[in-house]
Amino acid sequence: MPATFSRPRRLVVLISGRGSNMQTIVNTVREQDLPAEICAVIANKASTLGLDWARAQGIEAKLVAHRDYASRSEFDQALAQVIDTYQPDYVLLAGFMRVLTPEFVERFNGRLLNIHPSLLPAFPGMHTHQQALATGVQWHGCTVHFVTPVLDHGPIVAQGAVQVLAGDTPESLAERVLGMEHLVYARVVRWLAEGRVTLDTMQRVHVHGVGSRSFVMMPDNGQSE
């Protein structure tokens, strides 16, 4: 059974750019009236358009600029201290383009989630759409997963797949995958808010009351589970 909570789930969202997935998360919480609160949006770049969007929505928006710190460890420590002030139940990476230190990941163990633009474990790291086209896979997509110290690795919460079409470019494929990212992250946020997501002792994800955690987008842009 889903867990019951005495208060809404507190969410902090980390971004590095325009934050389209962050916008999806915010809109999902508000439009579906979920038992969750977006406590803050935090970016590591001063020019991040997503911070402006968050402020316009009345959400606290913070900058922790990685260039202000001499090392990755110092930046992660400063970022963690800011996050801790909000006492989040979950920290959601939404296009946050920084590799996090093992110490940071351990600090938020079981509360830190990421969305990656591939069907993990395929194509970790950067340039996933180019990798997909270069290897000739016929399905590509995205994965929402709990973060571990290993890059783009961790217990999978949900995945969404799109077909690779003849004539696809990295840009056209990225556009379809991004649409799937919005769908999948919105659904995962709902599960988190409703207390459906748990990790067992073997670090396997269970989503209570949900039969399928996979999503498919067909070429006509229809979606199915």
**CATH number, position 98:** 3.40.50.170
Would the CA dihedral through 212, 213, 219, 220 be positive or negative?
Answer: positive
Instruction: Give me the domain span that covers residue 70.
Output: 9-224
Residue 1 located in a structural domain: no
Q: pLDDT of 105-126, one tens digit each?
A: 999 999 999 999 999 999 999 9
Residue 59 located in a structural domain: yes
Residue 208 located in a structural domain: yes
If you average pLDDT over residues 53-82, what whole number do you get? 97
Grade residue 225 by pLDDT with cuts at 50, 70 and 90. Answer: low
Residue 3 located in a structural domain: no
If you average pLDDT over residues 198-203, what whole number do you get? 94
Nearest to 205 by CA among 153, 157, 173, 133: 157
Largest Cα separation within the chain, whole Å, is 51
Say yes or no to pLDDT of 224 above 70: no
Residue 2 located in a structural domain: no
* Active site positions, annotated: 116
Q: pLDDT of 126-177, one tens digit each?
A: 999 999 999 999 999 999 999 999 999 999 999 999 999 999 999 999 999 9
If you average pLDDT over residues 83-98, what whole number do you get? 97
Residue 189 located in a structural domain: yes
Residue 47 located in a structural domain: yes
Cβ count within 10 A of residue 124: 15
State the DSSP code for 179: H
The total number of structural domains that make up the chain: 1
Q: What percent of the chain is modeled with pLDDT above 90?
A: 92
**How high is the mean pLDDT of the chain?**
95
Please, are residues 16 and 45 in contact by the beta-carbon 8 Å criterion?
A: yes
User: 3-class SS at 112?
Assistant: strand
